C-alpha cells in the first residue's frame, strides 16, 4: 500500500528553511510521502542551501528513505520515508550552516527510532540567523526535556561564520511517547548569568568588554540581582576560526529560562554586541510569557506529537511559530488554539496562550 502523499508550499508564511525542517520531520515520523515546492521562495537566494540539503540527507539516512530533487539551489523535492532507525548518523553542512538547525529537524525523528542514536553534526555552532549552541544547551535542552526524554549534547569543536568547522555530538534514546507540557507560570527572575566568548585571534579584552556592557545595560532595568557573565577565551583546540559573541540567560523561580544573545561582526564594537544581547533578554522578560521568542516555535512540533494537552504562555507569537503550527496542523492533524492571555497581570501586555491537543504519537518499535 503506497504511503499517503502531502503537498507543501515552501513559499508561504515564514517562506524559509523552517517549513522544510518541520514538514520533513513530520513526514518521516508519520510515514507520509512529501512533496515540497517553491522551497525558500521568499529568500534572496531561493532553493536549498548546504545546511538544508545536509538536513534532508540526514533525515533520508535516518529512515532509509528516498529523496528526489535534492541539490543546492533546488526549489522542489520529493521525500518518501521508511522506518526510522537508531545508530550513528552524520550531517556536515561543509559551511557555517547551523548545527542547531540540523538538530531541530532530526531530534523529533530519532525520539521515535527503534534504538538509541548518535548524531554527529558539523557546521557552525555559533551562527547568525539560528540559535547558538549555547542556547540549545542552556535553554532549549532543559525545557524540551520536560516532554519526558533526555539527550546529551557534546560540543567537540566550535565553528564560526564564514568557515564553520564546528562539531557537536548529540546522543539520545527513543521514547514510547511524549508527555504534554504546561509552561504558563512564569514566576519571578531569580538569577541572570551568561558567557561572553572570543575565539581565534580576537583579544580577551573583547570578551570582557561585551560582558561589562551587557551587565551595565541590564542593571539599568534590574537592580537587585547579581548578573554573572563570564568572559571566556575559547581554547585553541576547541574552536575553529575566529569569532566572538555573548549569551545571557535569566532563570525564574518556576524554572523558566529566557535568553538574549548576539554575535560579533567585523566593524561592530564589543560594547554594541553586549548591549544587543542584553536588550534582547530584557525585551523577552517584559512580555510576561513563560518562554522566550526563540523557544516558542521550537516547542510546537513536540507539542503536536505529545499525548494530551500542552500549553505555553508566550509574548507576541512569531511568524516562525505561526508557520510551525500551520504545518503541524496540516501534516500531523494536531489541533492548536492561540489566544490572548486572560490573566490580570498580562492585561497591559502582549501575552498569549498557545494550546495544543497532541496526536499522542507512540513509538511502534518499543
Annotated catalytic sites, by residue? 320
List CB contacts of 224: < 8 A, sequence separation 6 or more: none
Compute the residue count for the chain: 366
**Cα–Cα nearest to 218, from 152, 272, 264, 277:** 277
Q: What DSSP letter does each residue of 104-162 carry, written as one string?
A: HHHHHHHTTSSS-EEEEEEEBSB-TTS--HHHIIIIIHHHHGGGT--EEEEEEEEEBTT
CB 170 within 8 A of CB 211: no
In the block, cell 511502534 appears at 364
Q: Give strand ranges (E) for the chain.
A: 5-9, 33-37, 66-68, 77-80, 87-92, 117-123, 151-159, 166-172, 182-183, 189-199, 227-233, 239-240, 243-252, 257-263, 309-314, 335-340, 352-357
Burial class (CB in 10 A: 0-12, 13-18, 19+), 25: buried
Report the distance separating Cα 174 and Cα 113, nearest Å: 6
Q: Which residue has the cell 501534516?
A: 331
The interaxial angle of helices 296-305 and 17-30, nearest 10 deg, is: 20
Q: How far apart are CA 315 and CA 351, in angstroms?
A: 5
Q: Cα–Cα–Cα angle for 259, 136, 256, nearest 5°?
A: 45
H-type helices in 266-331, by residue range? 270-286, 296-305, 319-327
Quick one: which of 347, 328, 345 has its CA closest to 337? 328
Phi/psi at 185 (5° precision) = -105, 105
Amino acid at each position: 500500500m503506497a504511503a499517503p502523499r502531502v503537498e507543501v508550499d515552501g513559499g508561504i508564511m515564514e517562506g524559509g528553511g523552517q517549513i522544510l525542517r518541520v514538514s520533513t520531520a513530520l513526514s518521516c515520523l508519520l510515514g507520509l510521502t512529501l512533496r515540497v515546492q517553491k522551497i525558500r521562495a521568499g529568500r534572496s537566494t531561493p532553493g536549498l542551501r548546504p545546511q538544508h540539503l545536509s538536513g534532508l540527507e540526514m533525515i533520508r539516512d535516518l529512515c532509509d528513505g528516498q529523496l528526489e530533487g535534492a541539490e543546492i539551489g533546488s526549489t522542489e523535492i520529493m521525500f518518501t520515508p521508511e522506518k526510522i532507525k537508531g545508530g550513528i548518523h552524520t550531517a556536515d553542512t561543509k559551511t557555517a550552516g547551523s548545527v542547531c538547525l540540523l538538530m531541530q529537524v532530526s531530534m523529533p525523528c530519532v525520539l521515535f527510532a527503534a534504538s538509541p542514536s548518535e548524531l554527529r553534526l558539523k557546521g557552525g555552532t555559533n551562527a547568525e540567523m539560528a540559535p547558538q549552541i549555547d542556547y540549545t544547551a542552556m535553554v532549549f535542552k532543559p525545557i524540551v526535556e520536560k516532554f519526558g526524554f533526555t539527550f546529551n549534547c557534546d560540543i567537540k569543536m566550535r565553528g564560526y561564520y564564514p568557515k564553520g568547522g564546528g562539531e557537536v555530538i548529540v546522543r539520545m534514546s527513543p521514547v514510547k511517547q511524549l508527555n504534554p507540557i504546561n509552561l504558563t507560570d512564569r514566576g519571578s527572575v531569580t538569577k541572570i548569568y551568561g558567557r561572553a566568548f572570543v575565539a581565534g585571534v580576537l583579544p580577551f579584552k573583547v570578551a570582557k568588554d561585551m560582558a561589562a556592557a551587557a551587565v551595565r545595560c541590564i542593571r539599568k532595568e534590574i537592580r537587585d540581582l547579581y548578573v554573572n557573565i563570564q568572559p571566556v577565551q575559547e581554547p585553541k583546540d576547541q574552536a575553529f576560526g575566529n569569532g566572538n559573541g555573548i549569551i545571557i540567560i535569566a532563570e525564574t523561580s518556576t524554572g523558566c529560562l529566557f535568553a538574549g544573545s548576539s554575535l560579533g561582526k567585523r566593524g561592530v564594537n564589543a560594547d554594541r554586541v553586549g548591549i544587543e544581547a542584553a536588550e534582547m533578554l530584557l525585551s523577552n522578560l517584559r512580555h510576561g510569557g513563560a518562554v522566550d521568542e526563540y523557544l516558542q516555535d521550537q516547542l510546537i512540533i513536540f507539542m503536536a506529537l505529545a499525548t494530551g494537552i500542552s500549553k505555553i504562555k508566550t509574548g507576541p507569537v512569531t511568524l516562525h511559530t505561526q508557520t510551525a503550527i500551520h504545518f503541524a496542523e496540516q501534516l500531523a492533524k494536531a489541533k492548536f488554539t492561540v489566544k490572548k492571555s486572560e490573566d490580570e497581570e498580562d492585561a497591559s501586555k502582549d501575552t498569549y496562550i498557545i494550546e495544543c491537543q497532541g496526536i499522542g504519537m507512540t513509538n511502534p518499535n518499543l
